[in-house]
Structure 1
Amino acid sequence: MKVLICGGGIAGNALAFWLSKSGHDITVLERFPELRATGLQVDLRGFGIEVLKRMGLEQKFREHSVKEEGLDIVDGAGRTKAYFHANRTGKGIQSFTTDYEIMRGDLCRLLYDASRTATKYRFGTSIKSFEQLGHSIKIMFNDGQQEEFDLLVGADGQWSRTRQMMLGTDRADPITLLDVYIAYFTMPSPIRVGEVFDAKLFITTGKRLIACRRHAKDRVQGYMAVTTTTGIIKDVKKGDVRAEKDAIVKLFKGAGWRTNELLEAMQRSDDFYCERLGVVKLEAWSKCRVVLLGDAAYCPSATTGMGTTSSMVGAYILAGELNLHSQDHEAGNGANIDAALKSYEHKFRPFMDQVQRGLYPGSTYFHKVPTTEFGLMLLRFVLGIIAFFNLDTFTKYTLREEVTDWQLPEYSGVLDKQHFSR
């Protein structure tokens, strides 16, 4: 099959790994001029870890992983009120810090390096439009070139342009914003003697959370999350970095702990990004010769802790179904792809239904944190008890790792050899 993957992030590169490994003709399109290896810390959980192992990339992953020890809940004076250790046992669900933490850029590079010898990567190019042609799709690129493919995969993220083109201009974008905003950035911070790689979280009034995560000996990550419906940030245009930074300063100045220090570093940062948390839900993930993958199809938002895992597992299943159905030469190429896309959705939607269940504005743990100092004091006390007794109830409540009554499909022999040539 000749496949065009729009988006050179985690989902797109993971799919390219599996399909190119099986001998298909794969092109990955990335609108940025080079691999976009930015972003802060991500993790793998549950079935995402198993997919990584099946890729044979666990050892290389660990060579680049962040050796975070755990999550430290602190008060305004920086005193520890609860500490959640990373789960290094290999059993049970992960904690807030997993055994598989990595910077997003490092995971993108890892998947890119593992797929690029058998994949064509086209940087600095995007799709202008496309036309369905029976059993193929004609792509018009922004540089004036045209080319036909058997399948177009939209793996271009939460704000996917491929999704909007697939649905048509008469359909509203199916993303539900959760009224949660998170500012991400990194800043220089030499490690002190005796300091370990920890995540530190301070929860303050006004439904605001401030966090630091050390990922290197000379740098830490800053996170500033707020739940609000006010126009201070809601009316700021996405991508207007100057206006976004100004809004974050207005919302957080004087919030306590290391907030002012972080705000100063944020103003100087060149890797700032403001995320508007949202959930993407679609009635169907494909239409004719276009199929969506990862956040473009089923973004679960950062509140679930399952964004990266969902992308990795989804890519594995989509590739597995395309390869599995491509063995049936009798049905013809068009019928093969149709059946594969239906099976991909049939097998993976139950997984995503559990991950996304009950997500709407007002439903997340960001919305449920207390707004008063007394309420926050009680919250820290309860978290301290949960951490002391090593209870996983709170982790299960806040994150969506535990997917039940679902099994990761086996594609043994299907994803490791060429079964189909066009």
Structure 2
Amino acid sequence: MKRSKVLISGAGIAGNALAFWLSKLGHEITVIERSPQLRTSGLQIDLRGHGIQLLRRMGLESAFRAKAVPELGMQVVDSAGRRQAFFPATKTRSGAQSFTSDFEIMRGDLCRLLYDAIPKERVKYIFGTSVETFEEQGDALQVRFTNGDVDEFDILVGADGLHSRTRAMMMLQGADGKDAFRPLGEYTAYYTIPRPVAQGEEYVATSYIAPGNRFVLTRRNDPNRIQVYMTGKAVTERLDSVKRGDVRGEKKVFVDVFWGAGWEVDGILQSLLETDDFYCESQGLVKLDSWHKGRVVLLGDAACCPSASTGMGTTSAMVGAYILAGEIGRQLRSPGNQCQEGVTEATVWHEAAFQAYDSKFRPFIDQIQKGVGEPSVFDKIPWSPLTIGAAHWVLWFVSCLRLDLFEGLLSDQPVKGWELPEYESFQTGHKEP
């Protein structure tokens, strides 16, 4: 097998998952991360369907469960804090799934878990730098880093997130010429605040709907803090005039819009002003006709973010990383099988790998992204006290009858009729239950 020199930009879940699989193939791998250390921030995420299958193939299920969030389910409350409905966590491995799955974890814990599973003698990590420029020169890609270093690689993988600088430097656009990022017209704030667990309190997600299309969700993974998620249509109009990354300005918008919303919101907002892990993001999709150009390929949210509303961003990153690594291994294990007359193996192996990655992974992503962002009946509902009361009654009725509220939205296999490819290089005798 040809030994290839691979650069991965981004040490998040997608980048680390790719490094994990590539490390089994004997390539020379470098992962760069612009943060000065492994970024273990971020709130609660989960794995579903094929993501769980891959976790088991990686041999990481036990380590995952040791760090899993013990969330018991989700409750819906009214402005007085009274429970209106409760949906318990899913504890089965098949069928319809609840809001809380059996595989919930903090983003930072999953990132650390993947990082710790990677043999550092096979993968080199460089923190505190990123790609400044890259240029193809013959059979290699010359990369200049922001720290001033210059090196050559066979390929560059952009796993640098929703607002990928790699994607911007590639100048990739969709068929209609629009930017790859398609905003959905909604912002969400993510942060944690101090809140010691009260006597008798359970680890339950709490959802609250306030008049004026304002939504708040809290979750607990720590006895001393809670996670907070806030979103609302009124926020979008105000945030469009705030420079991205202006945390003070973003916080002010959320305080102004949500103040007086009822329940415990005012107390949460007072703590918001002091929190140091506030993060505000425009919800959106990334849609591209191609995920690669020359010796550069995109992965994870940089390539095909499905938006947080699908709950499939983490699973998609894991699946995409597995397929990309598998196709790189397959092409380098069969040298010359894609060569045209007069073209060397070194020139074409990456093109064949990238094309196979695109063709095998795109049907998966197309299913997840289908319909996301299209107008729905919920967009037309004026969330007044009357409609909120009606929604509470419906949710109570559904929860009492234990109906599958999330059927069709959340299931054990969100992507139907699609199977994980098998790669000879990764056969380790795993057995899936």
Amino acid of the structure 2 residue aligned with 1:55: M
1-side partners of 2:406 and 2:67: how far apart? Answer: 29
Of 147, 152, 158, the residue aligned with 2:156 is 152
- Relative to structure 1, the CA distance from residue 269 to residue 141 in structure 2 (aligned partners, 3 Å threshold; closer, same or farther) is same
Does residue 132 in structure 1 map to residue 136 in structure 2?
yes
Match of 1:242 among 244, 248, 251: 248
Return the match for 1:358 from 366, 371, 393: 371
Q: Structure 2 regions of 5+ residues with no counterpart?
A: 338-344
Q: Assess, with a 3 A threshold, how the Cα gap between structure 1 residues 401 and 181 changes in structure 2: closer, same or farther.
A: farther
Corresponding position of 1:420: none
User: Which of these residues, 212, 216, 231, is aligned with residue 210 of structure 1?
Assistant: 216
Change (3 A) 1:380 1:399: farther
Give the letter aligned to residue 355 of structure 1: I
Residue in structure 2 matched with residue 396 of structure 1 by the alignment: 408
Change in Cα spacing, 1:135 to 1:228, as seen in structure 2 (3 Å) is: farther
Question: What secondary structure sits across from 1:403 in the alignment?
Answer: coil
In terms of mean alpha carbon deviation, does 232-241 or 289-298 score higher?
232-241
State the Cα distance separating 1:410 from its structure 2 match. 1.6
Deviations 1:248-303 (A, max 9, x none): 01110001111101101111101010111110000101011010000000001111
**Contact 2:99/2:406 (8 A) holds in 1:** no
Alignment of 1:297-376 (within 5 A): 297-331=303-337, 332-360=345-373, 362-363=375-376, 367=379, 370-376=382-388
1:252 counterpart letter in structure 2: F
Instruction: Give, in angstroms, the shift of residue 399 of structure 1.
Output: 8.4
Contact 2:247/2:278 (8 A) holds in 1? yes
Quote the Cα distance in structure 1 between the aligned partners of 2:45 and 2:24: 25
- Give matches, 1:186-197, under 5 Å: 186-197=192-203
Q: Residues 123-144 of structure 1, C-alpha deviation per residue, up to 9 Å, x if partnerless?
A: 0111111002343211111122
TM-aligned CA deviation for residue 369 of structure 1: 5.2
Alignment counterpart, residue 68 of structure 1, candidates 68, 71, 75: 71
Deviation at 1:335, TM superposition (A): 2.3
Q: Distance in 2 between matches of 1:88 and 1:11?
A: 26
TM-score, normalising length: structure 2: 0.91
Equivalents in 2 of 1:154, 1:381: separation in Å?
A: 47
* Distance in 1 of aligned mates of 2:412 and 2:287: 16
Q: Report what 1:119 is aligned to.
A: 123
Counterparts of 1:98 and 1:415 in 2: how far apart (Å)?
A: 28
Q: Structure 1, residues 328-364: CA drift from partner, whole Å, max 9, x if none?
A: 1234233222111111111110110010011226459
The answer to whether 1:377 aligns with 2:401 is no
Aligned length: 416
Equivalent residue letter for 2:422: E
Q: Per-residue displacement from partner, 1:202-230 (whole Å, max 9, x unpaired)?
A: 01122111111010111111111112475
Superposition CA RMSD, Å: 2.1
State the SS of the aligned residue for 2:160: coil
Distance in 1 between the 2:417 and 2:335 partners? 33
Distance across 2 between alignment mates of 1:32 and 1:402: 33
1:8 and 2:28 correspond: no
Q: What is the aligned partner in structure 1 of residue 341 from structure 2?
A: none
Contact 1:69–1:197 (Cα < 8 Å) also in 2: yes
Judged with a 3 Å threshold, the aligned counterparts in structure 2 of structure 1 residues 364 and 97 are, in CA distance, closer, same or farther, namely farther
CA contact (8 A) 1:188 1:218 kept: yes
Q: 1:229 to 1:263 in 2, by over 3 A?
A: closer
Alpha-carbon distance change, 363 to 2 in structure 1, aligned in 2, over 3 angstroms: farther
Where does 1:273-292 land on structure 2 (aligned, <5 Å)?
273-292=279-298
User: Could you say which residue in structure 1 is the equivalent of 2:27?
Assistant: 24
Q: 2: CA distance between counterparts of 1:227 and 1:268?
A: 24
- 1:70 touches 1:84 (CA, 8 Å); kept in 2? yes
Which position in structure 1 is the counterpart of 2:168? 164
2:264 corresponding residue in structure 1: 258
Distance 1:161 1:77, change over 3 A: same
Q: 1:416 to 1:61 in 2, by over 3 A?
A: same
CA contact (8 A) 2:172 2:180 kept: no
Within 1, Cα distance between the matches of 2:317 and 2:48? Answer: 12
Q: Whole-Å Cα distance in 2 between the matches of residues 372 and 404 of structure 1?
A: 37
1:379 deviates by 1.3
Distance 2:302 2:377 in 1: 21
CA contact (8 A) 2:242 2:250 kept: yes
- Structure 1 letter corresponding to 2:304: Y
Identity of aligned residues (%): 50
Aligned-partner SS, 2:163: coil
Moved more, 111-120 or 121-130: 111-120
Q: CA shift at 1:373, angstroms? A: 1.4
> Is contact 1:69-1:86 (8 Å) kept?
yes
Instruction: Measure, in 2, the Cα distance between the counterparts of 1:56 and 1:364.
Output: 42
The one-letter code matched in structure 2 to 1:75 is D
* Residue identity matched to 1:95: S
Structure 1-normalised TM-score? Answer: 0.94
Moved more, 228-237 or 151-160: 228-237
